[in-house]
Amino acid sequence: SVALPIPHAEGLPPEVIEQVRVQPGQGVSGWVAEHGEPLLIEDITRDGRFARRERSGGQQRKYTTRSLLSVPLLIGTEVVGVLNVNNKASNAVFTERDRDNLTLLASQAAVSVENARLYETLQRLAVTDPLTKLFRRNYFEEQMDAELGRSRRYRRALSVLMLDIDHFKRVNDTYGHQAGDMVLQALAGLLRRYGRKDDVIARFGGEEFCALLVETDPDGAKLAGERIREAAAAFAFDVGRAEPLKITVSVGYASFPLHGEDGNQLVARADLALYAAKHGGRDQVRGYETGLEMPQEGDSDER
């Protein structure tokens, strides 16, 4: 049982629609939501279930209608909303026939509401990594293209961070894959906490994460990377053992337009900077520099 917002209403001030949340059991809508039954009120002023609010001056709020009809939007036995109507033409009283007609309309509306909810859920699952609840790589790449277009148009900086957990294989080998998953989830929480509202943070694959930093130049990217690196190093990761686990992360970054003109180039060069951080001793932040190369096969040590 959760509070019900008002997604749409005719005749109510915008601030009321935006601010009001109806608790289960509160007023007519709350009663219908709690009981899952239609409610026909012939005279509001004589029905104690209708919550009459008082203004600051102590005067009761006056209603502009006497008769009101409220029906639940039901999916099976679950109430997914409430539909209210009042102010019947010519100030007439709602009838049982009105109730039956509105109940039929509500059943059709409930199906539409449920379909919308299912679609929203499927859309969210399509772009969200199930373990970390961060975005998937495909969504990150789509947003990269869109943000690069805006950055070119308005001549704004844009940066990409690539982040990798140091010696993550040892975590899995020593504590088990379940503990490794707990580390990934906790680190994802840190990334959300230190990310800005407009940043796009995603799980790139395995123990590697990426972040799209809008309106961020190389200096800003380095600062963001250092904040994340320091936060990870200071965090105690609970993996279900007596002692919490400590980890470090390595970070690489590349920025538009200095280090690349398209998304693939920026990601590749941020990844090169990440490998430079790994091979430079880990637990550090590196920016892309001309001449950086991916280590040759056989030269790469355990990440």
Local structure of residue 22 (DSSP, 8 states):
B
DSSP string covering 259-274, please? T-SSHHHHHHHHHHHH
Question: In which element (H, E) is residue 218 found?
Answer: helix 218-234
3-class SS shares of the chain: helix, strand, coil, % to 5: 45, 20, 35
In the residue annotation, 207 being an active-site residue is answered as yes
Which residue carries 């796009």 as its tokens? Answer: 200
Residue 239 tokens, joined: 């993996």
Q: Are 102 and 85 in contact (CB under 8 A)?
A: yes
Which listed residue (15, 54, 114, 207) is catalytic? 207
Q: Are 134 and 207 in contact (CB under 8 A)?
A: no
Query: What gap in Å lies between CA 249 and CA 163, rounded to an integer?
Result: 7
Sequence-distant (≥ 6) Cβ neighbours of residue 112 within 8 angstroms: none
Local structure of residue 170 (DSSP, 8 states):
H
Residue 108 tokens, joined: 């059709």
Q: String of b and e for 58-80 (b: at least 16 CB within 10 Å)?
A: eeeeeeeebbbbbbbbbeeeebb
φ and ψ at residue 133, rounded to 5 degrees: 65, 15
Q: Which residues are catalytic?
A: 207
